[in-house]
Amino acid sequence: IKYVISPINRSLENIPSDDKEFSQAIASSLLKKQGEKKVGLIISVWDDLGIKGCLDIERKEVVETFCNLIDKINLLEIEHDSVDDSIIMTAFVQEFERRLGQKRKSRGGKSLEDVTSFLFDFYKFKSSEGPEHLDFDFEVDKWFKCKDGWTIGISCKRTLRERWKQISLSTDILSKKKIKEIWHLITLDNDLSDDKIVTLGSQRQRFYLLDDSQAYIKYSKNEGTKDYVRPLSNLIKDIRNNIK
């Protein structure tokens, strides 16, 4: 307890419970310097920014606490040999990693919501409540009102995967709820196909893809799909144009 548990407890207090603060700091700096054209980059690397920041702090805490443990072991007055020392040090490593793993789990899973919230806050866009009694099989992270009174929903996803049929929507339902369009912000677009884009595009769903991705280059030049795909670098401009 004295040499393993208590020091670990103190170190864990110095490790963030949320990746978001690191992502926000770097993303804000990037947007201020290079402008809204870098929105796609921020969406695609948001996870990595936060994870790296937190892992750097984790590593610092583990190293410092481990070095302190070695110093304390060397000062022990009771008899001990190298095997005893190894048992204590490996117990420390195992327990610290177990506790860090729990903390990482609590940090994960929110980043896709966080990045859309960050962008709305950064550009001072007002988000709105979604239409009442609306039951989708996928999550819409943000809603905003257009100048004509209709609403656009933004869903931030890494990929559609095989669940893409679950996001099929009736245009009648969209019209009834005054939903103009649903925008999907996608950073891993390898599983997109003409069929998916045309099927969902005809249901007033649009795909925002990384500007330099092969999928965007391909589908933006295709007559059947070009109306349904947009570059992520245009996202902020498109929101602004719909709001104003």
120 within some domain: no
For the chain, the domain total comes to 2
Closest CA to 186 of 123, 235, 129: 235
pLDDT of residue 49: 74
Distance between alpha carbon 77 and the CA centroid of its chain, in Å? Answer: 50
179 within some domain: yes
**Is 172 found in the same domain as 99?**
no
**Is 141 found in the same domain as 62?**
no
Evaluate whether 39 touches 233 at the Cβ level (below 8 Å): yes
**Is 148 found in the same domain as 104?**
no
pLDDT of residue 109: 47
Q: Report the chain's mean pLDDT, rounded to a whole number.
A: 86
**55-114 pLDDT per residue, tens:** 888 899 999 999 999 998 888 878 889 998 899 899 999 999 998 888 877 665 456 668
Closest CA to 182 of 205, 161, 157, 165: 205
77 within some domain: yes
Q: Please give the residue range of the domain that contains residue 34.
A: 5-108
**Is 80 found in the same domain as 136?**
no
C-alpha 244/C-alpha 147 separation (Å) is 6
118 within some domain: no
117 within some domain: no
Strands across the sheet with 205-209, in order?
Answer: 142-145, 151-157, 179-186, 205-209, 229-231
CATH number at residue 213: 3.40.91.80
Evaluate whether 138 touches 166 at the Cβ level (below 8 Å): yes
168 within some domain: yes
For residue 126, what are the contacts with CB-CB under 8 A and spacing of at least 6?
A: 120, 144, 145, 243
**Is 61 found in the same domain as 9?**
yes
**110-165 pLDDT per residue, tens:** 566 688 889 999 999 999 888 877 766 667 889 999 999 999 999 887 777 655 66
Range from 16-30, 91-105, 174-188, 218-232 carrying the lowest mean pLDDT: 16-30
**Is 198 found in the same domain as 133?**
yes
With 0-12 / 13-18 / 19 or more C-beta atoms within 10 angstroms meaning exposed / middle / buried, residue 104 is middle
